[in-house]
């Protein structure tokens, strides 16, 4: 019968102490690695933007039709970000234009940002989709879209009359959702 | 032997400290700041990619915005806060002073304190400790050395990380980071001199096929008096032309009208005739 020799008590104590000292270092390294890898910004269809509940970013610039547009609080405003090279935008825009016409005269404004797009292509796109009267602020470098925290196109924001962002949608907007959010923003204005 | 090892560790720590202080105190150029900040921002539509290393439209827009804000004189923390307000905390890759940052400071400090405490404790035990066998000490001494080395290394790394975060850091350090990837701004800002001059940077962006970003940089400068305004107007017109903006013709006409004797005026007239 052999007796297995264990390390002396002094050595075991030191080993335990060293392990205890190393644990927080390893945990920290692990946490930093996890945070640094793979984590992406939330892109769920709605409610994801950190802008919700905060003042809307500035929206100012030259429009596709050659005018100047500056967003100012005072009316409920739907802000849509699109581009002519974006396929979902093509399917979404007619719906937006239809809703925009319904809202006209009811205290709701539709303003759009044409991001990272050529003026010629974008104007042709509006003609093709029957949206020639649309307010489309040009954003050739994408900086306006970034100011709105946009991750892709299309995206839609509902801003209440006080200039606070109330709702956000990623992708081709659901007209039922949009109508409901616009109505809710209007209700906030009147309450 | 043990004294020699401790001396080596102390010299290593002192060397790292000197390097850290030298690196941290050199004022960064705008190019370095843009490179560094782009490397700190996560590309929101990519997996494990920074804004500096991505060519997606949103990453390009974010780089242009970083360039604009750096040129406008905003601090690194102001710029990162601006992005956090729009994309959430997770848009920043590295922890801040409010997130895991304090841990980065506390862990090496704690490890160093433990190491020093252990040494002092063992010294106080004096003769009894020396009488123990070499076998008993071989392993503990190795662990102790490992803890001390970690403390020294992480203690030296923290100021480097934070000097890069808050001051921009050195070009060497920035190129070692993920920002060295082929970001548009990174590749299109060849010299520090161009980066400190927004018009020069815009011209470089234009040459590198990014007229939109170039246009954004010089948009507000074209009305300035003097050489800066003249060049800004020229770059603006050329950038608009490259981006198929209908306003290009009027901008270039204005350039020729206001600066008929400029060396580039003849070439611009040719462009206008051909368009």
DSSP letter (8 states) at residue A109: E
Q: In chain A, which residues have their Cβ closer than 8 Å to the Cβ of B135?
A: 8
**C-alpha distances in Å from residue A153, one per residue of A82, A87, A143, B5, B42:** 5, 9, 13, 60, 18
CATH number for A136: 3.40.30.10
Give the Cα separation of B96 and B93 in Å (integer). 9
Looking at the DSSP bridge assignments, the partners of residue A79 are A111, A157
Residue A42 located in a structural domain: no
Are A88 and A140 in a shared domain? yes
By Cβ distance, the residue of B58, B65, B147 closest to A18 is B147
Are A21 and A65 in a shared domain? no
Segment B163-221, tens digit of pLDDT: 444 333 333 333 333 222 222 222 222 333 334 567 777 777 777 677 887 887 787 77
Are A31 and A66 in a shared domain? no
For residues B92 and B40, is the Cβ–Cβ distance under 8 A? yes
Give the Cα separation of B47 and B43 in Å (integer). 8
Q: In chain A, which residues have their Cβ closer than 8 Å to the Cβ of B46?
A: 40
Are A147 and A92 in a shared domain? yes
Cβ <8 Å between B213 and A115: no
Residue A161 located in a structural domain: yes
Give the Cα separation of A33 and A29 in Å (integer). 6
pLDDT in tens, chain A (191 residues): 445 556 677 777 777 777 776 777 777 777 666 655 544 444 455 657 999 999 999 999 999 999 999 999 999 999 999 999 888 998 899 999 999 999 988 989 999 999 999 999 999 999 988 898 899 999 999 999 999 999 999 999 999 999 999 999 999 999 999 999 999 999 987 76
* A-chain residue closest to B244, CA distance: A118
Residue A46 located in a structural domain: no
Ramachandran region of residue B197, left (φ > 0), alpha (ψ -120 to 50) or beta? beta
Q: In chain A, which residues have their Cβ closer than 8 Å to the Cβ of B247?
A: 62
Cβ <8 Å between B245 and A119: yes
ipTM of this complex prediction, to 2 decimal places: 0.78
CA distance B44 to chain A (A): 5
Mutating which of A21, A53, A137, A168 best tests the B interface, going by the most B Cβ atoms within 10 A? A21
Are A33 and A101 in a shared domain? no
Instruction: Find the domain containing A85 and state its range.
Output: 60-190
Cβ <8 Å between A140 and B118: no
Domain count, chain A: 2
Mutating which of B47, B67, B79, B87 best tests the A interface, going by the most A Cβ atoms within 10 A? B87
Are A167 and A89 in a shared domain? yes
CA distance B61 to chain A (A): 4
Are A115 and A160 in a shared domain? yes
CA distance B150 to chain A (A): 9
Are A109 and A76 in a shared domain? yes
Angle between helices B30-40 and B134-167 (to 10 degrees): 120
Are A64 and A33 in a shared domain? no
Query: Does A154 sit behind a cis peptide bond, omega within 30 degrees of 0 on the bond before it?
Result: yes
Residue A130 located in a structural domain: yes
Are A179 and A119 in a shared domain? yes
Q: Using CA atoms of B175, B184, A41, A25 in order, give the dihedral in degrees to the nearest 10.
A: 0
**Token pair for residue A145?**
């879209």
Model pTM score: 0.55
pLDDT of residue A15: 77
Are A90 and A163 in a shared domain? yes
Residue A80 located in a structural domain: yes
By Cβ distance, the residue of B84, B95, B211 closest to A35 is B95
Please list the rounded mean pLDDT of every run of 10 residues in chain B (275 residues).
70 72 72 94 89 90 95 95 94 66 69 81 69 54 65 58 40 30 28 52 74 79 81 88 86 88 81 80
Residue A170 located in a structural domain: yes
What is the full DSSP assignment across B109-163? Answer: HHHHHHHHHHHHHHHHHTHHHHHS-HHHHHHHHHHHHHHHHHHHHHHHHHHHHHH
Are A29 and A111 in a shared domain? no
């Amino acid at each position: 019968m052999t007796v297995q020799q264990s390390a002396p008590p002094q050595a075991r104590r030191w080993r335990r102490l060293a392990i205890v000292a190393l644990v927080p270092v390893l945990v920290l390294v692990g946490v930093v690695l996890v945070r640094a890898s793979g984590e992406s910004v939330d892109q769920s269809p709605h409610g994801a933007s950190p802008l919700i509940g905060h003042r809307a970013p500035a929206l100012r610039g030259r429009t596709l039709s050659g005018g100047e547009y500056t967003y100012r609080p005072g009316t409920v405003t739907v802000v849509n970000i699109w581009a002519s090279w974006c396929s979902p935008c093509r399917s979404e825009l007619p719906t937006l234009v239809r809703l925009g016409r319904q809202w006209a005269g009811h205290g709701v404004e539709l303003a759009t940002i044409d991001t990272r797009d050529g003026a010629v292509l974008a104007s042709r796109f509006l003609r093709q989709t029957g949206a020639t009267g649309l307010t489309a602020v040009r954003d050739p470098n994408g900086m306006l879209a970034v100011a709105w925290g946009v991750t892709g196109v299309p995206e839609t924001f509902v801003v209440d009359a006080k200039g606070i962002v109330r709702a956000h949608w990623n992708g081709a907007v659901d007209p039922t959702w949009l109508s409901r959010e616009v109505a809710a923003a209007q209700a906030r204005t009147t309450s | 032997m043990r004294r020699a090892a401790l001396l080596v560790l102390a010299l290593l720590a002192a060397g790292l400290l000197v390097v850290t202080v030298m690196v941290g105190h050199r004022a960064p150029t705008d190019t370095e700041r843009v490179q560094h900040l782009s490397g700190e921002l996560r590309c929101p539509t990519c997996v494990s990619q920074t804004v500096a290393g991505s060519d997606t439209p949103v990453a390009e827009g974010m780089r242009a915005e970083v360039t604009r804000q750096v040129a406008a004189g905003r601090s690194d923390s102001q710029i990162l806060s601006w992005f956090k307000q729009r994309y959430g905390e997770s848009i920043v890759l590295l922890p801040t002073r409010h997130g895991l940052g304090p841990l980065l400071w506390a862990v090496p400090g704690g490890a160093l304190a433990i190491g020093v405490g252990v040494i002092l404790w063992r010294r106080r035990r004096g003769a009894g400790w020396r009488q123990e066998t070499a076998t008993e000490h071989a392993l503990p001494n190795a662990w102790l050395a490992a803890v001390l080395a970690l403390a020294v290394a992480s203690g030296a790394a923290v100021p480097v990380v934070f000097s890069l975060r808050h001051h921009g850091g050195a070009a060497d350090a920035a190129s070692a980071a993920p920002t060295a990837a082929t970001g548009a701004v990174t590749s299109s800002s060849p010299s520090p001199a161009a980066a400190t001059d927004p018009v020069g940077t815009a011209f470089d962006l234009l040459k590198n096929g990014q007229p939109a970003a170039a246009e954004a940089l010089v948009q507000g400068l074209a009305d300035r008096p003097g050489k800066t305004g003249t060049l800004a107007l020229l770059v603006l017109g050329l950038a608009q032309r490259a981006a198929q903006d209908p306003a290009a013709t009027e901008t270039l006409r204005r350039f020729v009208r206001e600066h008929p004797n400029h060396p580039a005026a003849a070439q611009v007239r040719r462009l206008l005739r051909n368009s």
